[in-house]
Chain A
């Protein structure tokens, strides 16, 4: 059933691209790849006895893994595993408008509505048999305690093996080596479950593609810094966090190249993402995953453009093909959500300065202790460099709790204040 949803989404987008190649937009390409990943994740609508890659009964899509956010997905791609972080499914459910029954299911089975909606959606969907059926799970201690607990619950629910990656807080050599060793053990764990060891040549090719996509992402971010920016609110929503799932594949290169080319073309033509861009905004952490009119309204009414997201920035170096596990480890430890808030605030300050931001919007996702828990410190930190922050108390996944009128009032007041400063 869900597989059919992705099929129709894919064929719809492919048809639109074919119909008018000139009107093609990189976001369509991005959405197409997201849908293709969704289809692969739901390729089988039930559990199977053996996920082996080789031999009789081998799957065309390979084994499926449900993971934490900071799993090295390119390594899994190199091993022929189809995977995603579970919050990706939560976001898909929210964006497709189908999330409410799963939230309710989770709440009725005892998961408090105080907890994060991404996780409640996933736990409810698993109880309804509507999560991708995993062959194994890989949990990561970063970004959050709630995510980790969700993985433990899912492993129990599916009765599948769980591997745990402890992501240390600091980027010291000792910690990087510790995590690199864990990633090597993770590889052994995956081999045990797929029956096929990692092909070193395949890993090399995957790393090459990861680094290629990385370069293109750096270019995209650099182009977006331009005044006016070729970027606008909807274009890079969820971009980097979803690209992490496609790293090491041609799809990641295609999508990133499409964005790079589009932004470069806009700059060349002297056009901007939002016509007559007046206010440049930074979006902190989470996008609101379900359909809403916040961004179109702020673009139309205030000529305000969300030109940078906290997560859409490059915090890791190219992966060294001769020492990839160290590279994967450094990458996981260096993401903005890991470590203390001080590091996160420094990162936000740098983005604000590099992109010449007028203001920041922080959608304080309900139930998020890791991200939203730092609300006050982030606001103070950005205030030090003169960047005002609008905190929106919002549930990024739960459509039942969306008070549009209240949010629009706050946004309106914020933009009026920003306009008056100019």
Chain B
């Protein structure tokens, strides 16, 4: 018996398949594109293929993410907040605070010892500090997103970005390049700006993180530079699970299994 979780985000559609013992059998990440029905189909076909199963083998499906109501054959649509909490505690059982930074939004979730959400804070009104923001900055610096993650090494940290709006920050970065400021310093400044933004969201759910375990998920969790800046800002270690972009889909699959029994 298998259980499927599908996270339909604005940028990517992720699917995770687990078995009756909560073991991850397969996962996939595909771009959502303009038609999320096609993305849902592709994401699910990929996991079925990897796991060598057919749709009939799936006992229950839970969907999450902004497009969660578009999965027709679902047991339930559950918000990404609940799913992320469930998913991260499966991968990192001691997590108390989760920072999730996706393509277009960011959120922080306070989780109790029963993997239940105690509080949450979201920023989905602007792209500042999200994957989209970093993509724009990578473009301005003419590097790819993977290179951007490592570019802050060796920076002294004297550059501060004054604008967090994606559009204005991009033009600020272009001006800094024109002024001869090194990309290392610029990226360090960017990471610190993102961290400052996210710290506000963390404080909303956890005014003090003393004694709490903090983890990160979402696409931006691949960016070690941002993680370094967050870790410095919070003065604590930030744990990142393997496949951080599929934490929501994993949580959805786990909930599918729980609700089916």
Contacts and interface: CB of A to CB of B under 8 A. Distances in A.
A110 B162 contact: no
Q: Is the contact region of chain A dominated by helix, strand, or loop, or is it mixed?
A: helix
Interface stretch (A142-150, A161-169, A238-246, A399-407): A399-407
Interface stretch (B50-58, B94-102, B197-205, B223-231): B197-205
A402 B160 CA distance: 13
Contacts of B199: 108
Contacts of A400: 162
B66 interface: no
B162 A401 contact: yes
B203 A109 contact: yes
Interface residues on B, range: 10 to 19
A107 interface: yes
Contact of B168 (A108, A399, A403): A403
A107 B200 contact: yes
Q: Is the contact region of chain B dominated by helix, strand, or loop, or is it mixed?
A: helix
Interface in B202-221: 203-204, 207
Nearest to B171: A405
Contacts of B204: 108, 110
A107 B207 CA distance: 12
Contacts of B203: 108-109
A396 to B, nearest CB: 15
A104 B196 contact: yes
B163 A403 contact: yes
A108 B162 contact: no
B114 to A, nearest CB: 27
A405 B179 CA distance: 14
A107 B197 CA distance: 10
A225 to B, nearest CB: 38
B163 A108 contact: no
A350 to B, nearest CB: 38
A410 to B, nearest CB: 15
A193 B175 CA distance: 56
Interface in B161-175: 162-163, 168, 175
B128 to A, nearest CB: 12
Nearest to A105: B203
B121 to A, nearest CB: 10
Contacts of A402: 162
A400 B163 CA distance: 7
14 contacts: A104-B196, A104-B200, A108-B200, A108-B204, A109-B203, A109-B207, A110-B204, A399-B162, A400-B162, A401-B162, A401-B163, A403-B162, A403-B163, A405-B175
